[in-house]
Every structure is written in C-alpha cells, then in structure tokens.
Chain A
Amino acid sequence: MSLVSELSDKRLKYKTIHREGILDKFCGVQGSQRIIDRKYFSQLWEGYTWAAIIGFIYDKRVPLGSGGKGDAFKFSVINNNGGELADALILLALSKSKKGYKCLTEPDEIIKVIEEYANGGFEIIQSKIREDESHFNNPDAFIEELLERKETLT
C-alpha cells in the first residue's frame, strides 16, 4: 500500500482549544453561506493545513501532550480536497522528521510530525490574535501574512 493510501485512513489530531480559538473562527460550516457570515476558509481542513504550514515555516514544533481534550479528522479529507497541499504536507514532514527518508514508510511518523507542527502553528496564530483580537477579521490579513513570510526562513 502506498504511503498516501495508508495515510488516508489515519487521523490528524488537534487540541480543542485550538478548535474553538482558531478553527471555528476562520472556518465555515456546512450551509452557512450568506456572504456576510462567510469565514475565510470554507472547511476545517483548510484552516488546519494553513496552521501546519505556518508551524513548518517558523519551525515551531509543539508536541500534543496527553492532557486536554482533542478532536481529529481524517487525512483523506486533505488529500481529496486539497490537491497538492496533501503532498506538500508530507514533503514538509519529510524535511523535518528526525527519521529522514525512512519516514516515507512510516505513516504514523508523518502524522506525528504534521500534528506537532500544526500545534506549533496554532500557537503562533493564537499569539497573534492575543496581541490584536481583530487581526484576522479583515480578509486581506491572510494574504498579508503570506507576503510577510521571508523565503530565507527555515
């Protein structure tokens, strides 16, 4: 079985506080599509992937830990809806995994790396929001954050 198909059934976990503090803020739910209500992302996996990428770029890795409540969703959601993003996440995990190329046969390792960088990404986003609650209220903020990233970062 290929890596991608083994990953498809696995779940990416995340903490509930990040669900409330970030994912619900930025990701829409099925059916609520009045233009005024619309969140920047229409689905949960988008917000999650965004956070994960931020974690990778700023090299912040935070283990999930055992305490606290959590939620999870299937990797296949990203694979089915996100096109290249799923591949990118795997490649990013590869770049950071201590197991090097061996992680390509260890889907659990890939999942773990992604989860921990996503967790770190959430914390980075959370601290931006804490500094300024309305930071991401303006949709322009998302692209601005993109352009702020420097190519020379890790």
Chain B
Amino acid sequence: MLIKSIKLKNFQCYYGDKHEINFTDGLNIITGSIASGKSKLFDAFYWVLNDMIFVTGKEWVSTKGLGISLVNDKAKYESQSVDDLIETSVEIVVNTTAAKNSKSIEYTIRREYLISRRSMKDCFDSNTWTTSTPTLTVEYVNQKNSNHEIAQGQDAKEIIENLFPSKISPYIWFQGEALDKLIDFDNKGTLRRAIDYISYVPLYKTMNNIISTVDSKISKSARKQIGKLSGNAKLYNELSRQIEEKNNSIKNNKQLLEDKSKTLGERTDQMDEVEAALSALAEFPKLSEEKIEINNDLININNDIERLDIKERKRFSSLWMLYGTKKSLQTAADRLIEFEDHRQSLISKEYELPEDVPGDVYINKMLKNELCMICDRPAEKDSEAYHNIKAKLNRKIKPEYLTPENEQINTEVLTFKAKLGTLSRNYNSIKSEIIAHKKELDDLIEERSIYKDKIQVVNDDIDKLYTKRGIDISEGAKTHRNKHGEYKTLNEEVRNLNRKIETYKASLRDAEMQIAKLENEQSKIQRVNTNVNVVEEEIAKYTKYLANHISEIEQKEYNKLIDQIESEANMNFEQITSVNRTIDGKIKIDRETFRVLNVNEEGRELQNYNTGHYTLMKMCIINAIISLTNDYKDESYPFITDAPTSNLDDKATFAYLESISGTFEQSIVITKDISEDEIEEIKQKDYISSLFFLKIKNDTGNEKMNRKEAYSTITPIKN
C-alpha cells in the first residue's frame, strides 16, 4: 500500500487550500523547526482516518471536543460576515498494491468539517460559530463493475478499517509524544493484540475446526461400518454410542474451557488495572510487594520442581531402571563363577604334571621306565599317568586353560566381575534414592500448593483493605468505593473461573480416558468377515494423524512468531546501537507477561536504561511488527511517524532513519531533528527518497507573528 498524497485545507495552522504533498515510495522526510506545523501534519493524517487528534495533556480528542480549534485561525480572522462558511478538510489518496489477479485500487479519503458564523463577535470564540458533524467520504473504482463509487458514513468507515486495521494501525503510525500511551509495553494486552493480528491464529483455529470435524465424522462412519461386520454388533454399536456421547461432551467442555480461559485472561488484566489504581493507598504497596514476593517464591519452587524432575529422569536413565534385576544379576554372577570354576579345574588338570617338566628326552626315559620320576609314582603303560606323561611329549601347544578362546573369556569374566561388583553396590542404593526423591518432590508440590493459596489470601487482603481504609479517604471516596466493588467482584469471579476451569480440565481428562477404554473394548470384538476393507477405517488413520498434529500448530506457530519479532527487532536494534556506544544489550520479549526487556548476553535484565533507550527498543519492536505484518499478510503497510527520534542523539537518529528506509516500502517521517543548514547534506543521502520542509510564514512582513497572520508552508526539497 502506498500513500500517494495528502491535501489540507484550513486545517489548524494550514491556511487556505494550497497545501499538498505528493509522496514517493521509500523514505519521505518532512522536517521543519519547532512550531512549523509538523505535528499538525501528523494530526491531519490521523484526523482524516479517525476523526481524532492527539492533544498533549488530554490524549485523543474527537472533532466534537476540538470544535473550532481545528479550523485555521487566519481563515476565521478573515471572515467578514455572518453566515460565512469555512471549510476545513483533509484528503489523502491511497493506492493498495495489486493482488494476484486484480489491479491496484486507488482510494480517495476525505473528511470535511464545516463551521458557519453566527455573529460578528470575537472570531476566536467558539460561541461565534455553529459547528457541524464532520463528513467522511471514500471514493474508489469498483473492481467488479468499474463504477466510480462513493462510500459514506458507516460504509466509508468499513473501508478505512479494511485498509488500516485498528489492531495494527497503532503500529503503522505513531506520534513520538504519544508513544508511551499509544503503545504501552507494560500492558501485555497491547503487544499480544498486535501479535494476534499478525499471526494466523484465526486461520489455525479454522484449520483445526475443519480437520477435527472431518475426523469426527469419518471415525463415526468407520465405527458404523465396522459395527456391521462385527461378530457382536449389538455390543459394538452400544460402545460406539457411548464413544459418541463422550466425544460430544469433550467438544462441549473444550468450548467451555476456551471461553472461560479467555474470560479469565480478561478479568486478570482488569484486576491488574484496578490494582494499579489502588497504588495510592498507603498499605497497598506493602501488599503488592508481598504478592510479588510470593510470586517469586513460587517461581523458585517451580524451578526446584523442575530441577528435581530433570534429576529424576537422569537417575532413571543411568541407574534406577535396573531395579528388579537383582536375581538376574545374581544369575550372571553365577555364570561368571561357573567359568572360573571350569578354568580352575583346567588349571588343576595341568598341574598334575609340574610346569617345569623336562624336555622330550627325559620324558621318553620316564615312558620307557614306566615311572614318573618327579613324583616318584609308577606309570604303567596305558595307565592314566602314562598317558599324561606321553601327552607332554612334543608339547608345543599351550595348556588348555590358556587357549585363545579361554584367555579371552577369562579377560571378559574378570572385567565383568569388577563391573558387577560396582553395579551391585550401586544397585543397593536405588530404592532408598527413589523414596528420598519422591518425598522431596511431594514436599515441594505441597509447598507450591500452599503458595498458590497464599496468593489468594493476599488478594483477599487487598479486598479487605478497602473495607478498612476506603472510607478514610475523603476525596474520591466514591471512586475508591467503586474500585473496591470492582475488585471484589473481579476477585470472586477469578476464583470461580479457576475452579470451573479445573473442573472442565478434569472432565476432559476423564472423558479421554474413558474413550480409550471404550475403543479398547471395541477392538477386542472379533469381526465376522476380516476380508472386507472398511475404507473409512483407512481414511480415519489420516484424519486422526493430521488432527492430532494440527491441534498443536497454533501454539507452536504463535511462539515462532514471537521469536521472529524478537530476532528481527534485535537485528534493527544492533544496527542502530552499533553507532551509539551507550546503549547495549538485546531486546527480549517475556513470553509470560509480554513485557519488553533489555537483557545482556545471558538473558539477565539490564537495569540502567533511560527513556531514549526504551524508546529505541519500542521502535525496533514496532518496526519488526510492521515488517512481519507485511510479510505474513501479503500486504505492505506504510510507516508514518511523528518525532520518533526526539529522545535519540543525532547519530542514532540517522541510523534509525536509514534502517527504516531499508525496512519499509514506504515510510513517512516527520521530524524536527534536521535543521535548515543540514538540509543540503541530507538531501544527498540516497536512502532518502523525498524531503519536504515546513516553515511558518506571514504575508505582512512583520517580524513577530501572531495567530491571525501566521500560517505554515510546505516546500518540497527533493521529490
């Protein structure tokens, strides 16, 4: 999408109707000194689209609230007679980029405000004028019939909402001063809404619904068909009916769970708001601190539980899973001993004749004499002793117990005997380890439950605080009473919602378990004709598989998107801060609270950031959000901003501008941070496509300008 032009007539400091800016793609800079009409130009954009402008100190004010202050002073001054009409208008022309098979459409959006003079009294007094409601028109050419269409009122509003969706428009353009209010990163809802907008969450919900519906139907069909082939159709069909029932109950519970969770989120946000309002009360900070402390303790407990969990799995997979193998290990030990005994017997056998048996000559002599000359016993021919001696003849082979095979087995047996020893020692400690672990875990879980109750107690105490102190505050006592009432109600609601949610979750778990049981029973029933293929059964495999995976996609992709925003914001942040040594660290989005933090390499929050720092972080996130919106939504939004860099120094300002020019197809930056003498230099920069200069003039030649004479002018420097 490109903004082609803006035209102003009698809008605030812009007198008459010769004020037009034609924008190009790329970076358009509008600059000028203080009070030259820059903010008013931004107001013009905002006003034409939203019927409001930002007033310092008052925030967003509608036309109705602004009245004649919206209208140019010089025009009011020059009006000569009663019934004089002054038209104030702003018109912008926007081109949407062409979609696949259609052309781009050009929209002319115009808002007009008329005032007419009632009397000749003070022209700057609102009573002197009658005001009307501004009218809004949007002109375009209808794609289907090529007619020139003019939309008004609600239709026009809808077109504008389509062009600049309200969820994303706070990011497309923002005013530097309004940055804090407009994008309150301390309110998690803000960032989350933007992310919801960019993400495909609604599409994933649709995807999930469709595949679940199909899976449900096919499974039901499959059961019906299989029922017909079943050996016990009556039982099978009864089980099917029960499964259907459970499925319906799951569907209902899921819906209820979703609704209640959403409401819980809303109520919790509201409670946060009310708590913030309570901060005026003296005792409140104490309770608030207590709540923070308990939450921190809770985090620690959860960390401990996590730690124990990790330890458990580690021990399980290195030792505990062996529990129960004692007998088998004993058998293994027996086998090792078996070998040792066998080897020993071989060794003994060898030692019937001493190791230092003499050579063959001597042996032959023993044989001849039929006498063992070593142990002095007879060795009659063909006796066992005789054969033993004979066996020693030409003995080149190793003794049997020293065969390679036996040697190898021996080595292994020794190795494993040692291992078995260690193993047995460790084995004996398994049971006591497990029991100690379980106790520790149970204790922590109980502690956690206690702390959760503590939070409820603190909330109750906050509630009581009102009862006690609410009446003491004389001014605004009514407000406090109201806030108290709100808090009480919210507190009660949150308590009930939590209870309900637990109930639904338990019901879901229960129903799912029961379905598993029922399906199991079904699968046990024999089929009469196993040759018949039920096609639904085959299809169900596919639908079930997809349904299971797709149910998790939404959360996965959502997390991925946040990762992307964070990493893209950090890319910009690094680029810009590399020129500014005082800012460092990285941007991190807290996944729980959606708060934006400045962290160091290890992820620890850095403490010393100032306004400029924080502004820069916000702007990088905003850039990331829009850039990803452009990516994800097949649409490219222009980026329009007023005074984004007022908190940054020069170097950072220009680094920021250059980075913007690279990120967006079109950006319009209104800034005071370029002085008249810098213009020539700036003009040369090739990342700037257009440059406009605003100045206050008067035609009287007077040095000192007053509201009756002064007006703003726009001069294109580069275009």
List A residues at the B interface (Cβ < 8 Å): 2-4, 35, 40-42, 46, 49-50, 53, 56-57, 82-85, 87-88, 90-92, 94-96, 100-102, 104-105, 130-134, 139, 142-143, 146-147, 149-154
Residues B383-410 near A (CB distance < 8 A)? 405, 408-409
Please tell me which one of the listed residues B321, B327, B336 contacts residue A101 in the complex, with CB atoms under 8 A apart.
Answer: B336
A-B contact count (CB 8 A): 133
Asked whether A105 lies within 8 Å of B412 as measured between CB atoms, the reply is: yes
Beyond A100-B338, A143-B312, whether A50 also contacts B419 by CB under 8 A is no
B406-448 CB mask vs A (1 if < 8 Å, else 0) is 0011011101100110110010000000100010000000000
- The 10 lowest CB-CB distance pairs between A and B, nearest first, are A149-B324, A133-B516, A95-B331, A101-B339, A104-B412, A95-B332, A91-B332, A46-B317, A87-B419, A95-B328
CB distance from B432 to the nearest CB of A (A): 12
Q: Within 8 Å CB of B416, what residues of A?
A: 87, 90-91, 94, 104
- Tell me if B55 is interfacial: C-beta within 8 Å of chain A: no
25 contacts between A and B (CB under 8 A): A2-B411, A3-B412, A46-B317, A50-B317, A53-B322, A57-B325, A83-B318, A85-B322, A87-B423, A88-B329, A91-B419, A92-B325, A94-B335, A94-B416, A100-B338, A100-B339, A101-B335, A104-B416, A130-B520, A133-B516, A134-B513, A143-B320, A146-B321, A149-B323, A152-B327
Majority secondary structure, B binding face: helix
Asked whether B324 lies within 8 Å of A85 as measured between CB atoms, the reply is: no
- Tell me if B266 is interfacial: C-beta within 8 Å of chain A: no
Chain B residues with a Cβ closer than 8 Å to the other chain, count: 47
Give bound CA distance, A21 to B368, whole Å: 76
List B residues at the A interface (Cβ < 8 Å): 306, 309, 312-313, 316-329, 331-332, 335-336, 338-339, 405, 408-409, 411-413, 415-416, 419-420, 422-423, 426, 434, 438, 509, 512-513, 516-517, 519-520, 523
Asked whether A102 lies within 8 Å of B409 as measured between CB atoms, the reply is: yes
Please tell me which one of the listed residues A41, A84, A100, A101 contacts residue B319 in the complex, with CB atoms under 8 A apart.
Answer: A84
- Across the two chains, which residue of chain B brings its CB closest to A91? B332
Please tell me which one of the listed residues A56, A85, A143 contacts residue B328 in the complex, with CB atoms under 8 A apart.
Answer: A56
Asked whether A84 lies within 8 Å of B318 as measured between CB atoms, the reply is: yes
Please tell me which one of the listed residues B336, B423, B517 contacts residue A84 in the complex, with CB atoms under 8 A apart.
Answer: B423
Q: Within 8 Å CB of A150, what residues of B?
A: 324
Give bound CA distance, A40 to B323, whole Å: 17
Please tell me which one of the listed residues A2, A102, A143, A146 contacts residue B324 in the complex, with CB atoms under 8 A apart.
Answer: A146
- Across the two chains, which residue of chain B brings its CB closest to A41? B317
Q: Within 8 Å CB of B409, what residues of A?
A: 101-102, 104-105
Give bound CA distance, A118 to B168, whole Å: 56
Task: Give 7 A-B pairs besides A95-B335, A100-B338, A132-B517 with Cβ atoms closer than 8 angstroms.
Answer: A49-B317, A49-B321, A50-B317, A82-B317, A87-B416, A87-B420, A92-B332
CB distance from B588 to the nearest CB of A (A): 17
Q: Within 8 Å CB of B519, what residues of A?
A: 133
Give bound CA distance, A34 to B313, whole Å: 16
Asked whether B426 lies within 8 Å of A84 as measured between CB atoms, the reply is: yes
Q: Within 8 Å CB of B319, what residues of A?
A: 84-85
Beyond A41-B313, A84-B422, whether A101 also contacts B329 by CB under 8 A is no
CB distance from B328 to the nearest CB of A (A): 5
- Across the two chains, which residue of chain A brings its CB closest to B404? A105
Q: Within 8 Å CB of A83, what residues of B?
A: 318
- Across the two chains, which residue of chain B brings its CB closest to A58? B324
Give bound CA distance, A139 to B305, whole Å: 13
Asked whether A105 lies within 8 Å of B321 as measured between CB atoms, the reply is: no
Q: Within 8 Å CB of A130, what residues of B?
A: 520, 523
Q: Within 8 Å CB of A153, what residues of B?
A: 324, 327
